[in-house]
Amino acid sequence: MRIKGRLFDGFNYIFLTIIGCAMLFPLIHVLAKSFSSSKAINAGSVKLLPVDMTLTNYQVILGDSSIWRAFGVSVFITVVGTLINLIMTASLAYPLSRQEYSLRKIILIFILITMIFQAPLIPNYMVIKNLHLIDSVWSLIIPSAISAYNLFIMRSFFVALPTELIDSARIDGAGELRTLWSIILPLSKPAMATMGLFYAVAHWNSYSTALYFINSRALYPLQLRLREIILSNDLGQAGSLLEGVNEVSPAGIQMAVIIVSVLPIVIVYPFLQKYFIKGMLIGSIKS
């Protein structure tokens, strides 16, 4: 049995290593291209290591004001949107986790229905238009204030907390908001970090909602600006900076913008990983 167990573990390690490498290779290839010269990129000689290494691609995009503006819009949407998401999700998950709330099952059924049957694009657009949110960054934040999937995970975490803590808080005269803010949320850091990471990644990577609801190019988030660069080679101010510069190419600029767009999430994730794993495990085994 021990030999079989070791063989099984060894197979898992090899298999997961292969899968991990397969996922990392495209990112490494993009990173290598972003540091390579235009001659090497055009010749197709860049694989996993930079060829004729240069920082000119990054110098060009960091000198483009439209990319900085789009980066700022994405940061605002991610930070403010994630904060609103966590507040709204926790505020709804807490009462739905309490046994004394008699309507919790009916509300949970309605929320579950929204996971199965999602509203099409046109009704969503009509709602956003009637709320006068078209061409506003709030159209990228308010409609997605609560995710049903994340709500169920956070509710499962709240259900797992000892009810004695809540009862003792009530005996001491604490109201529901005080109990939630002073007792429940401090004990829910793993769940909050997990939900925060989910929401932040969704906000940061989203471009379809901005494509539908944003008309002004000044309000483009970074992902939509990146899409514009890749699909149409529209480099904006960076395009004028390319004139007379031999070490860069549109492909190199595109790769550099991709790296800049994924870098914030890559930097933040290691600090939240332990909470992320714990939160996901608790949410997956509790009812």
Per-residue pLDDT, 224:
86
pLDDT of residue 81: 92
Return the pLDDT at 241.
Answer: 45
Matching CATH number, 63-285, of 2.60.40.10, 3.40.50.410, 1.10.3720.10, 1.10.10.60:
1.10.3720.10
pLDDT of residue 282: 55
Give the separation between CA 31 and CA 50, rounded to whole angstroms: 8
- Position 181 scores a pLDDT of 80
Which residue ranges in the chain fall short of pLDDT 70? 1, 232-248, 272, 274-287
pLDDT of residue 279: 57
C-beta contacts of 159-168 below 8 A and 24+ residues apart: 159/97, 159/286, 159/287, 160/282, 160/286, 161/187, 161/188, 163/99, 166/98
Question: What is the predicted pLDDT for the residue at 85?
Answer: 93
List, for residues 40-79, the tens digit of each pLDDT value: 887 777 888 888 888 888 888 777 788 888 888 999 999 9
Per-residue model confidence (pLDDT) at position 277:
64
How many whole angstroms separate alpha carbon 9 and alpha carbon 17?
12
The residues spanned by each domain of the chain are 63-285
Give the amino acid at 51. V
Q: What is the pLDDT of residue 240?
A: 47
The angle formed by the CA atoms of residues 43, 46 and 48, to the nearest 5 degrees, is 170
C-alpha closest to that of 81 among 30, 144, 38, 129: 144
Cα 142 from Cα 212, distance rounded (Å):
15
Q: What is the pLDDT of residue 235?
A: 55
pLDDT on residue 79: 92
Determine contact, residues 125/140, Cβ cutoff 8 Å: no
